[in-house]
Amino acid sequence: MKSTYCIDLILIFVIFSLPLSAMCTPVADRLAHLDFGDPHPQTGLALATDGRGDIWVKGEISPELLSRQLVLHIPSGHVVDYDLYVYHGDRLLRPVQDSNEHGQKIRTRYPLYTFSTENPVYYLNFKQNPVSKLKVSIQESTQYFYQESTDLMRIYLYYGLIIMAMIFNVVFFLIFLDKHFATYVLLQASLLCTFFLEDGMLHYFYPHIAHYFHYLLTWVSSISAVLAVMFTYYLLDLKQNSTWFRKVAFPVVAVLLVGCGVYVWTGSVLVRIIVNVSCFSLAGLCFYQAAVLFKDLIYARLLLLAFGFLVLMGGLYTLNEFYDNSLLSFFDVNGLRLASVIEIVAVSFALIFKVRFLREENERQREELRYQLEQLKSSRHEKQMGSITHAPIPLDLPTISAGHQEEGIIHDIGMQYQLTEREKEVLRCIWNGDSNQEIANKLCISINTTKFHVGRLYGKLNVRNRSEVRSMREEVVEN
């Protein structure tokens, strides 16, 4: 047993003691037997496949960049696993990934190699098949780091815009207690995660899990599509305005989520295509439903503009990632980011119009409630006049009748504004003139819980203070 361990140690020592040229010799031999095709007319890259199934890319460096400190990277989060080989003299070497010219590790959004060479030929080795469209960027190191800092500043400004919009919608949700705002916050968070991945931030912050990029992006995109369906359903009140939306959307959502699980399990490209098609199908479904309600609802028009532009840019961006076409080169992640900004602005206006509509609807309901109170007042007055005529001494009957009427009014208000039983109790206490502390004592709850229920009651009744709540009480005939 000891002799076996000794042999293993000797083999390890011999392997790591080999000179770099000896280690690179197999690579040079493999390259010598490869048959590279004609260079691409735009990128100048030639492709070949070796006996192991690895993809090799051959390119050339511009003469004016030779003998300078260079940085090579592929500005796409979709390509994370590749090696670079360049000539150092007559030897073919592999530089250290994600390090500067001093050999120190650095943070980068995409895998990069820092090197210097006098030979213009370089090779890229992909362990997995690369994206059909491959863009290789070679710059001087100083130029690269300056451009990278500028790009990061622009990206952080965009992230700040999304986070600010999320904060505003959280505040609106706390004020209006409306699920439209909550759903849109989740949708914005999922879009932020999507851009986080597309911008290469996964490799920047968590390079050890960057190879899970495609799985994470598939899940995040699918969640965004599902949240878009939920947001459309709530914003356009499709429970009342559409009978077929849920019947069509639910099966597509089921296929989408099952497809995500299968893709993570198998890594099949076909399954990934099915998932992408399902995502765009859900987005198209939202787009179509907004178009159906285009004439009736103003916020449907804004939603149509937002989702339509975003779906269009997203589809063109996806085609740009997989197909090499000069017409699609304009639809990069920056174009998708611009579409997202337009979507945020348009949906924010849609939410504003939605809130205005709800406030007008609440005002209309309050007017109806005032009318009903007037009818009750008139009816009670007639009953009192009849009681005076036929029964000169009514005893306690009017008081009991008024109490029943008040309970009926509270019941009607509860049905009208969807009040909980606790909120009805709080409303009754406010009508009786109780303070928050007195309400807390009567209902055996804390003062903070009382304030919470009072705030929810204000939001549902669309009032700002106790006086406006009591004004509803004043409509009832006093005993």
Residue pLDDT, tens place only, 109-129: 999 999 999 999 999 988 755
Q: For position 326, what pLDDT does the model report?
A: 65
Q: What angle do CA 224, 225, 227 make, to 5 degrees?
A: 65
Distance CA 299, CA 350 (A): 4
Distance CA 41, CA 301 (A): 44
Q: For position 351, what pLDDT does the model report?
A: 75
Residue 341 carries which side chain, given as an amino acid letter?
V
Distance CA 255, CA 268 (A): 15
Beta strands in 134-221 (DSSP E): 137-140
Residue 446 carries which side chain, given as an amino acid letter?
S
Q: What's the pLDDT tens digit per position in 296-316?
A: 677 677 777 777 777 777 777
Distance CA 272, CA 21 (A): 41
Which segments in the chain show pLDDT lower than 50? 1-25, 390-401, 477-479
Backbone angles phi, psi at 84, to 5 degrees: -110, 140
Q: For position 41, what pLDDT does the model report?
A: 75
Q: For position 21, what pLDDT does the model report?
A: 36
Q: What are the distances in angstroms from CA 449 to CA 191, 353, 459?
A: 35, 32, 16
Nearest 10 degrees: CA dihedral of 418, 421, 426, 431? 70
How large is the angle between the packed helices 179-198 and 213-235, nearest 10 degrees?
A: 160
Residue 389 carries which side chain, given as an amino acid letter?
T
Q: How many of the other CB atoms lie within 10 Å of CB of 276?
A: 20
Distance CA 45, CA 37 (A): 9
Q: Closest Cα partner for 131 from 62, 57, 200, 29?
A: 57
Backbone angles phi, psi at 199, to 5 degrees: -80, 0
Q: For position 193, what pLDDT does the model report?
A: 92
Q: For position 1, what pLDDT does the model report?
A: 46
List, edge to edge, every strand of the sheet that includes 70-73.
Answer: 112-115, 70-73, 137-140
Return all residues near 61 (Cβ < 8 A) that are at least 6 apart.
Answer: 70, 117, 120, 121, 122, 138
Q: For position 477, what pLDDT does the model report?
A: 43
Distance CA 329, CA 316 (A): 9
Q: Closest Cα partner for 62 from 132, 138, 162?
A: 138
Q: For position 117, what pLDDT does the model report?
A: 92
Distance CA 6, CA 12 (A): 10
CB 351 within 8 A of CB 170: no
DSSP state of 224: H
Token pair in block for residue 193: 């995660």
Q: For position 161, what pLDDT does the model report?
A: 87
List, edge to edge, every strand of the sheet that includes 46-49.
Answer: 46-49, 55-60, 121-126, 82-88, 91-93
Burial of 157 (0-12, 13-18, 19+ CB in 10 A): exposed
